[in-house]
Amino acid sequence: MSHPLGRTPGKVIAVHLNYPSRARERGRTPSEPSYFLKPPSSLAGTQEAIVRPEGCELLGFEGEIALVIGSRAQRVAPEDGWSYVRWVTAANDAGVYDLRYADRGSNLRSKGADGFTPLGPRLLDARQLDPAALRLRTWVNGELVQDDSTDTLVFPFGQLVADLSRLVTLEPGDVILTGTPAGASVVRPGDVVEVEVTGDGQSTGRLRNPVAEGDPLAPYGAMPRSDPAEREAAYGAAYEPEPVLDPRLADGLRSVAVATLSAQLRSRGLPHMSIDGVRPLGTGGAVMVGVAHTLRYLPLREDLFKRYGTGMNAQKRAVEELRPGHVLVMDARRDPTAGTLGDILALRAQRRGAAGVVTDGAVRDSAAVSGLGLPVYAAGAHPSVLGRRHVPWDSGVPIACGGALVQPGDLIAGDADGVLVVPPDLAEELIADCREQERQERFITEQVAAGEGIEGLYPLGAAWRDLYENWCKGESQ
Position with higher pLDDT, 306 vs 428: 428
pLDDT at 286: 74
Task: Determine the average pLDDT of the residues in 438-467.
Answer: 92
DSSP classification of residue 96: E
Kind of pairing, strands 63-69 and 175-177? Answer: antiparallel
Residue from 298, 118, 275 nearest 210 by CA:
118
Q: What pLDDT band is residue 231 in, cutting at 50, 70 and 90?
A: confident
1 has pLDDT over 70: no
3 state DSSP class of 170:
strand
Domain boundaries 247-422, corresponding CATH code: 3.50.30.40
pLDDT at 321: 83
pLDDT at 477: 57
282 has pLDDT over 80: no
pLDDT at 329: 97
pLDDT at 306: 86
**Lowest mean pLDDT: which of 117-131, 239-253, 295-309, 391-405?**
239-253
Task: Determine the average pLDDT of the residues in 282-301.
Answer: 86
261 has pLDDT over 60: yes
Residues 297, 340: Cα–Cα separation, whole Å: 9
pLDDT at 429: 94
Report the chain's mean pLDDT, rounded to a whole number. Answer: 91
Fold assignment, 12-238: Fumarylacetoacetate hydrolase; domain 2 (3.90.850)
pLDDT digits (tens, 9 = 90+) for 360-400: 999 999 999 999 999 999 999 999 878 889 999 999 899 99
Q: What pLDDT band is residue 201 in, cutting at 50, 70 and 90?
A: very high
pLDDT at 154: 94
pLDDT at 237: 62
Which residues 6+ apart lie within 8 Å of 288 measured at CB? 327, 355, 356, 375, 377, 412, 413, 414, 415, 419
Q: What pLDDT band is residue 459 in, cutting at 50, 70 and 90?
A: confident
Residue from 349, 427, 337 nearest 395 by CA:
349
Helices marked H in 71-185 — which ranges?
A: 108-111, 157-165
pLDDT at 276: 97
pLDDT at 283: 55
Q: What pLDDT band is residue 29 in, cutting at 50, 70 and 90?
A: confident
Residues 289, 411: Cα–Cα separation, whole Å: 7
Separate counts of helices (H) and strands (E) for the chain: 12, 27
Q: What pLDDT band is residue 153 in, cutting at 50, 70 and 90?
A: very high
* DSSP conformation letters of 14-40: EES---HHHHHHHT---SS--EEEE-G
pLDDT digits (tens, 9 = 90+) for 127-145: 999 999 999 999 999 999 9
pLDDT at 240: 60
Q: What pLDDT band is residue 274 in, cutting at 50, 70 and 90?
A: very high
pLDDT at 243: 77
Spans of all domains in the chain? 12-238, 247-422, 437-476
238 has pLDDT over 80: no
pLDDT digits (tens, 9 = 90+) for 58-94: 999 999 999 999 999 999 999 999 999 999 999 999 9
pLDDT at 137: 96
- Enter the pTM of the model: 0.59
Residue from 397, 366, 401 nearest 381 by CA:
366
